[in-house]
Structure 1
Amino acid sequence: MTNAMRLAFAVLLVFSVLAFSAVEYRDGKVIFTFKTDVKANVVYLAGTFNNWNPTAWPMKLVDGVWRYEIELKPGRYEYKYVIDGKNWKEDPEAPAFVDDGYGGKNGAFVLTPEGKILPPDGASKQAGVSTGKSYELNPKRMDTIFVDPDGYVIIRFYAKDAKYIFIAGTFNNWNDKATEVYFIEDGWWEAILELQPGIYEYKFVVDGKWITDPNAFAFVDDGFGGKNGVFEVYREGGKLKVGAPRVAITPAEKLEEVKVQGIKPGLSIVDGKVFFAVKNDRAQEAYLAGTFNSWNPTALKMKLVDGYWTASLQLSPGTYEYKYVFIIGGNQVWQEDPNAPSYKPDGYGGKNGVFKLVSKDGQLIIEGIEEQAGGLPVKGKYEFDYTFKLDQSKYLVGSSTMGKLTLRFEPVKDSFVELTYAGASISKATLKFDLGNFTLGMHYRTPWSLPVGGSSTGLVVGYKIGSIQFFGGLGHESTGLPWAFGVGYKPVEVYVGHRYFDEDNYSIVAYVELDKPIKLSFTGLYNFNNTYYLEAAFETEQFGVNAYFDGITIGLGGFLDLSGKILEIATEYDLYYGDFLISGSYELTEDLVLDAGFEISSSYGLSIGLTKFFEKASVRVGLEMGDILNPFQDSYLKISGKVSF
């Protein structure tokens, strides 16, 4: 297969997977799709729309996915799938969940007159229940949402020239005239909502124009190319609280920016040692594993030097196999070296890098071996999370199950497609073409790798002239065109943007990184609405410290190498509410890590977990208590893990 054919296949793969969704509205019909690994002769759709008849509506099997289309009137619906008319199964990708009265969950949604599929009010009351949506935390927000002493949720919004404002959301079926927002002072308006625990989406309607709240706790795709604000109301210590959805994942990971100067990717001999260098601009940490260290995934930590993850080993002549282990968003991702001298099948559908170290005339030389076929250049990982609520009478009650599959197709060096599925639907995707000095990329529901998070969906281009790197990015929104431009010349990068780093404002981003004598970095973001984000970090081989501040929250953390065992600690303090959080982890052995956390707010929360690492997998068992004084009120047992292949 030629490189051109592989790239064409990659593009087709991206567009083909975008077609799936668990429940969607199209051409006047609600379309249900369900994919199961359980062998089934037939799957039926049952719910409030057909009086829960388990055999009335048989679904059709199309390309491995069960499908049913039906015309429904606007309203609230609950449903389940019935395998072979006997085995009732909840939809893991339902828009929301509600208790079915038998210890399980029904899928639930609201169909609006405009054809939107939305979670019902009060659905997904228990923490950790998947709504089938991907939330993006908002690290740049002002603190404008809180619960007042009477238990009402207050949302404030600044619009000094507005004549009238309403708030619409899942709590009022998106009625743009039902809930008025009241003017208070100095351009600020205030919405007062009486809400039960649950996850809610919303927008403001300002003089008839729909506006996303720039100070929302988190954002979620609105289905029309824009974003809704989203928050969760929950009980803690007997009181109502409001915050970001507790299943939210921040996309604004602070990633190391790649700056390549002088280092040759792949393997080389430096000072009589084998020198490994690889580029990965998405990784927060990197390790080297191979036959030389019994494939231990965390024994040999790599250093980030000039944009390359590097390691140096003293090895005797012989033949060795190896892989890199990247830590991306807290997940362990095994990856073959794209610049390895040769390859060998790894036994799991992928390839290991292979090299032969020989001595000639007193000099070490790296040679490849005859390459062996390893199948298609596709690798991936599967992540799972099972949550059980502690119950005083039943001990454990099933609460939620979540699974996520990530596939990466790399037809040619440094050009790839990476897709993440949540059930039958794609939750995010990245497409990158590296053409030497020119880079073209597309990203869907995941920000491009920058010092701070930008638009979640869009197009990016990069161009390098010598040591100067240029960046251009366009976002995607229904109400405008976000853009950003940046230039980098080691050790400084500067970016400017409009609605790219902040929902409605111009922004300036600066990033500085020094490698000698110690690794030191600084990140600064300023939005023209006077919000900001600052972060600084320094690191040596033995320890590191990092800190950040956004005007409301102070964070401080670091790590310490204790004779080869890593201790990590992170703290966070909320200046407005006075909430305090401390968490940490410690390597008990090379493949066993203990983690714990303690939170002081209106109650005392505690979490503790133990993670076991295997060659290409890990499993964590943890206990989370919302209030240690009431252990059965808000406590969960969680089993999570991932498998790479």
Structure 2
Amino acid sequence: MKYWIYIYIILISFINFKAFSQENSMKGYRIEGDEVVFSFDKRDYTKATDEKTLERLEFDDFDIQNVVVAGNFNSWSRDSWKMTQVSEHIFELRKKLDDFKDNFNWEFKFVINNRIWAEPDKNVSNITYAKEGNKNYYTYNLKMYTGYPSKKGNAKFFLKGYRNAKKVILAGSFNKWNEELFSMNKTDEGWELTLQLKPDRYEYRFIIDGYWIEDPENSNKTPNEYGEYNSVIDINQKVQFYLEGNLEANKVILTGSFNDWSESSYEMKKAENGWTFSTRLPYGKHHYKFIVDGEWMTDPSNPVKEFDGHGNINSVKMIK
């Protein structure tokens, strides 16, 4: 009986290990600090496709002269992102995370000798389909986190004290709670790190030498599944509202769900051809209207409108 229990435990352990390995089988790139490191290891491939003839090739049938990274981040260029051979089997290319700031989800592939497409194995976790004719091919998917370190970023995190700590990590919903990725920088007063984040609401915590804590200086927090709290940060986006014309009006007010439909707080400024007002809005959907000398109106230049729960039609501004 003990013998069968022992086999069962080994089998379950093997299954769990296999599942874990598949879940973490990211290929083609890694993130180191503020850089994306593209990595091509020819031992990872068995098949390739000639881009001009669409002929399937065995990977050992040709000599590798050069390798480039081609993706929608560089308009699928075959020559601009050339890789450097760093060992017998491996080519690498380093790029700053700032090069990918306009999007957080990219597709790419490795092109050999300017025309051979190295196809990722279908068991790699970060792949996506590319269709050519009636055949399916695979490309890599570069899944950026919704935040990345940047000295000019829009969210500065600071933990006061803990000068004796060896390492402090910033983990949150913006990096899928990764326990290693975002190392904070030690200063004279504590630890800090600045991120560039897309507009949204994020939860986060600090990890001090393996010990998790909420942000002691941030009163905005929410309960988590461990009976503790996650700190919360809201990232807003600057938005300019514009109402064309109505130059004869004495006063124009911007009102909406973002200011509790105030009829006085957001007074717009008269410009050359209309009225403007700038504010910062959080991620999500916002209803709004203009009040022109006491008369309420939707935004005539915005075709997106919705009914609210009271039978009114409002203009809609989406922040994403």
TM-score by length of 1: 0.16
TM-score by length of 2: 0.31
Report 1 or 2 for greater relative contact order, CA contacts < 8 Å, sequence distance ≥ 6.
2
Greater strand fraction, Structure 1 or Structure 2: 1
Greater helix fraction, Structure 1 or Structure 2: 2
